[in-house]
A and B are shown apart, each in its own frame.
Chain A
Amino acid sequence: MADALLQIDGLSKRFGGVIASDAISLAVPKGQLHAVIGPNGAGKTTLIAQLAGEIAPDEGRIHFDGSDVTALTVDRRSRFGLARSFQITSLFLDFTALDNVALAVQAHAGHSFRFWRAARREEELCEPARAALARVGLAGRGDVIVSKLSHGEHRQLEIAMALATSPRMLLLDEPMAGMGPEESARMVKTLRELKGELTILLIEHDMEAVFALADRITVLVYGRIIASGPPEAIRANAEVREAYLGEQEVAHG
């Protein structure tokens, strides 16, 4: 795909005898929301970690906006416009919510070799941070120490931090993990608003959310892509139903 923002070619990663990524190739065009689903242990988080630069692939290349980013470090990729959120909440727990997001803004506001002015008083950092908080529904919660926020709020803050880096693409690792139905619904709403504006790679177990949001879905099983296509095609795919969706379809009656 010529206009793909993210292009992955033959990405492979082994951990000892376990093949976490088996020649994964996929392309995400600009503005699309591409969901990756698969059972536990299918290698979804490993895929995100390779895209974000935390794990180096054994083989394969990753192109972002036409440039090969395979060898770039995590922070370089972030400054390039690739932002990730974490499946297991990864925040600055001893800081306020606003501090958390302001740090993400600061990371993209030039270098931080500034030693004198109080960062918390810089409107240049606080204002975009407040905007990002409002965007995910955390307006008014900025002054709360993060360890005192609820799990759902942590998940929202994860997204706010990724957004605050003004990314071109979001890599979201199970943003709805552990959320109640109400919180999930709010997250779906947030993601729907972001869709189109940003390119998104979404890993999620909540099938309802995935089928509601995704333009394309890729199904990963044991590190291998077994199907990729628009939601209707995936829903109809016999192999996918057998490998993954089956049990849930039954559960839904």
Chain B
Amino acid sequence: MSVRLNARNAFVAGVIAILALVPLYAAASGNTFVMSLFTRIVILAVAAVSLNLIMGFGGMVSFGHAAYLGIGGYAVGILAKEGMNSGLLQWPLAVAASGLFALTVGALSLRTRGVYFIMITLAFAQMIYYVAIGLDRYGGDDGMTIYKRSQFGPLIDLSNKTAFYYLCLALLLAAIYLVWRLVHSRFGMVIQGSRSNERRMQAIGFPTYRYKLLCFVFAGMLCGLAGALLANHTDFISPALMHWTRSGDLIVMAVLGGMGTVFGPVIGALALLVLEEALSGITEYWQIILGPLFLLVVLFARGGIDGLLAGINRG
């Protein structure tokens, strides 16, 4: 696990450097849109990293991962609406509620496999989506504006866009480090082994279900945090936060960047959202270009962009 200097690590370092320099560029050029875009990228990268933990390392293809973005976001929004603005209350609650929901979804869905697993995770996400539509007090179908961002007293002021961006970036890097430690630990070996050959895992004595369930809960909690960040970023929550197409976006990010590598989803999030912006500037039918691009990655670069870089490494 020693860190070597090679094309891939250099690229990762480059990406992190670019992410760290975005606010400086924005300040110098006066381009505030770039700040907003990159804040979004960093937040959704946290969500993609969490999905990659279960999908890339654990082989659990969840098609309802956006539900946790919604739960995290609504935890912040609902508390704000009720006059409780402390981030120290909102964020832990966002994470805890997401974890609890993941525990419920996981307890049921992890008893199934393949397509059934995908469908159950999707069904739960749809359920919570319609629950949000039914919440008339909190905007219902139209969503609701959050008038005050999470308060952290003198610690940090989230309405300062630069401070908020760096907080998001710090949390993303922390999440990556955490996932990296996790997947190489004993727990992570069990998770990876279950992806590789669950039947054999049980034959050598692992009760795989409980390990996968806990991993599923971890991923839900991390994505719940991303949801809390996203609500603070947009100052707005709506059921669209957890629309199933957003779950699809997260899967695309993980696959595009490279499943089963810790940093891959960050590259995926960056590539998808930048492409989306760039292509939608060219034509309103940008998806016609993005679709085939994605297809090419899936067909010819199974390891995603990160896999390509590793390939360059090997020569």
C-alpha gap A149/B190 in the complex (Å): 22
A36 lies within 8 A of chain B by Cβ: no
Q: Mark B180-191, 1 if CB is under 8 A from A, else 0.
A: 011011111110
Chain B residues near A164 (CB, 8 Å)?
Answer: 204
Interface members, chain A 38-66 (any B CB < 8 Å): 52, 54
Q: Is the CB of B196 within 8 A of A92?
A: yes
- Name the A residues within 8 Å of B208 (CB-CB): 75
Identity of the chain B residue whose Cβ is nearest the Cβ of A84 in the assembled complex:
B203
Is B113 among interface residues, defined by CB-CB distance under 8 A? no
When distances are taken between beta carbons in the complex, the residues of chain B under 8 Å from A116 are: 181-182, 185
Chain B residue at smallest Cβ distance from A162:
B204
- Please state if B200 and A78 are interface contacts (CB–CB under 8 Å): no
The verdict on A104 contacting B185 (CB below 8 Å), with A112-B190, A112-B211, A120-B1 known, is no
Asked if A194 is at the interface of the complex by the 8 Å CB criterion, the answer is: no
**Count of CB-CB pairs between chains A and B under 8 Å:** 102
| Docked-complex contact A119 and B207, CB < 8 angstroms | no
Tally of A interface residues using CB under 8 Å: 40
Give every chain A residue within 8 A of B193 (Cβ-Cβ).
92, 95, 103
Nearest CB in chain B: distance from A4 CB, A: 23
Question: Which of A93, A119, A120, A125 gathers most chain B CB within 10 Å?
Answer: A119
CA distance A164 to B200 in the complex (A): 13
Complex Cα distance, B206 from A76, in Å, reads 8
Residues of A within 8 A of B204 (CB): 78, 83, 103-104, 107, 161-162, 164-165
Q: Which residues of B contact A15 (CB under 8 A)?
A: none
Within 8 A of A (CB), among B116-163: none
- Is the CB of B197 closer than 8 A to any CB of chain A? yes
Say whether B214 faces chain A, with CB atoms less than 8 Å apart: yes
Residues in A101-122 with C-beta less than 8 Å from chain B: 102-104, 106-108, 112-122
Known: A75-B208, A86-B203, A93-B196. 19 other contacts (CB 8 A): A73-B202, A73-B207, A75-B202, A75-B206, A83-B203, A91-B200, A92-B193, A95-B192, A102-B189, A103-B189, A103-B193, A104-B205, A112-B211, A117-B185, A118-B185, A119-B185, A119-B186, A122-B186, A125-B186
Which A residues form the contact surface with B (CB < 8 A)?
A: 52, 54, 73-76, 78-79, 83-84, 86, 90-95, 99, 102-104, 106-108, 112-122, 125, 161-162, 164-165
**Which residues of B are at the interface with A, using a C-beta cutoff of 8 A?**
1, 181-182, 184-190, 192-193, 196-197, 199-208, 211, 214
- 29 chain-A/chain-B pairs, Cβ below 8 angstroms: A54-B203, A75-B202, A75-B206, A75-B208, A76-B207, A79-B205, A86-B200, A90-B197, A90-B199, A90-B200, A90-B203, A91-B197, A91-B200, A92-B200, A94-B196, A95-B193, A95-B196, A99-B189, A112-B186, A112-B187, A115-B182, A115-B186, A116-B182, A117-B186, A119-B184, A119-B188, A120-B184, A121-B1, A162-B204
